[in-house]
Amino acid sequence: MQLWIAHELGRELMGALPDGVGVQVLAAADAPFPGDPSDVQFWVPPLLGGAETVALAQRMSGLRVVQLLSAGADAWVGQLSDGVTLCDARGVHDVDVAEWVVAAILSSLRRLDYLALAQHEHRFAHTDVGLTDELAGKRVMIVGAGSIGQATAARLAPFGVHLTYVAHTAHDGMHSVDDLPGLLPQADIVVLLLPLTAHTTGMVDAPFLAAMPDGALLVNAARGPVVDTDALVAELSTGRIRAALDVTDPEPLPTDHPLWNLPDVLFTPHIGGATKGVLPRAYRLVADQVRRFTAGEPLLNKVEGGY
């Protein structure tokens, strides 16, 4: 079986694979092919690949499995031929994204972004921000209560927050997205961790934002198009709410976009999952999936219904 992976280091990280598995590395869509793509049965595409990467799957006539390194599969859904199984990397990014969420919340509440700018300007801004906010006792709503949402909740709980969970449908103590209009006015912090699907695109619109109370913080670690950017800019421009964003729509954010200059916005360039621990976790999953596939066992993390 031919296995193509996205990182040379993946060979070492996967460890011993079943006999007969040949491994080649294709690090980018525009890199020279390491072999005949029609021979590839199991493919691990580059994490940051765009439409050109997805299109390569059509040249892999023998392809049977696409194992993503990302938790989100929105770029791939509906793009693969019949008979090709799409699997996401659910569980791989729990630690890194959850840590980003906690860091972003604390940085925003304690105004560390503003104070970092003051440091750059050599200003001792002791009185500039006044009394900053704190996380203790905050009402935190996690929208998208999958594995990353649960990991985030576990890291927020020791701060003494009050957690509310929202999923696509109500189950096991989780609210449905249909309950959001009644829940949002009670949330000091709204954390977006839901997948991008036809149902979630633009879900955070003007009425959603208007329902958040004054001073609330919106944290987006999901996908940019989950939020209506025009509505977000309009609401943030009033100064009524704040935002911490790791993703935007469009992305990359154009240099003249108003989000850059709005007050009370903490922005990072989609680096929530970019940590040193990601590749070891990812390629442990890849190795497990390869063993399952060669043994005829069910694969993990199969993408069905868009996520």
Q: Looking at the structure, tell me whether residues 99 and 219 fall in a common domain.
A: yes
Residue 84 · residue 93 · CB < 8 Å: no
Instruction: Give the range of the structural domain holding residue 152, as residue numbers without chain letter.
Output: 94-267
- Catalytic hit among 110, 240, 270, 291: 270
pLDDT per position as a tens digit, 138-154: 999 999 989 999 999 99
Q: Looking at the structure, tell me whether residues 191 and 219 fall in a common domain.
A: yes
120 given a catalytic annotation: no
Q: How confident is the model at residue 130 (pLDDT cuts 50, 70, 90)?
A: confident
What pLDDT is recorded for position 28?
93
Residue 138 · residue 162 · CB < 8 Å: yes
Is 301 part of a structural domain of the chain? no
Q: How confident is the model at residue 285 (pLDDT cuts 50, 70, 90)?
A: very high
Residue 41 · residue 62 · CB < 8 Å: yes
Q: Looking at the structure, tell me whether residues 135 and 206 fall in a common domain.
A: yes
Is 87 part of a structural domain of the chain? yes
Output the six-digit token pair for 260: 């850059």
Is 204 part of a structural domain of the chain? yes
Average pLDDT over residues 107-112: 96
Domain with residue 100: its CATH number is 3.40.50.720
What pLDDT is recorded for position 168?
87
What pLDDT is recorded for position 242?
97
What pLDDT is recorded for position 246?
98
- DSSP letter at 246 equals S
Output the six-digit token pair for 265: 């916005």
Kindly give, in sequence order, each residue whose CB lies less than 8 Å from that of residue 85, ignoring residues fewer than 6 positions away: 64, 65, 66, 299, 302
Is 307 part of a structural domain of the chain? no
pLDDT per position as a tens digit, 183-223: 999 999 999 999 999 999 999 999 999 999 999 999 999 99
User: Three-state SS for 212?
Assistant: coil
110 given a catalytic annotation: no
Q: Looking at the structure, tell me whether residues 71 and 121 fall in a common domain.
A: no
Write out 216-239 in H/E/C secondary structure.
CEEEECCCHHHECHHHHHHHHHCC
Residue 302 · residue 85 · CB < 8 Å: yes
Q: Looking at the structure, tell me whether residues 211 and 147 fall in a common domain.
A: yes
Is 299 part of a structural domain of the chain? no
- Catalytic hit among 223, 235, 242, 281: 223
Q: Looking at the structure, tell me whether residues 65 and 120 fall in a common domain.
A: no
Q: How far apart are the first and last CA of the chain?
A: 27
Domain count, the chain: 2
Q: How confident is the model at residue 19 (pLDDT cuts 50, 70, 90)?
A: very high
Q: How far apart are CA 236 and CA 49, in angstroms?
A: 31
270 given a catalytic annotation: yes
Is 300 part of a structural domain of the chain? no
AA identity, residue 271? I
- Catalytic hit among 12, 52, 251, 297: 251
pLDDT for residue 306 is more than 80:
no
Q: Looking at the structure, tell me whether residues 113 and 187 fall in a common domain.
A: yes
Q: Looking at the structure, tell me whether residues 49 and 154 fall in a common domain.
A: no
What value, to the nearest 5°, has the Cα angle with vertex 302 and ends 301 and 306?
110
pLDDT per position as a tens digit, 27-61: 998 899 999 999 999 999 998 767 889 999 999 99
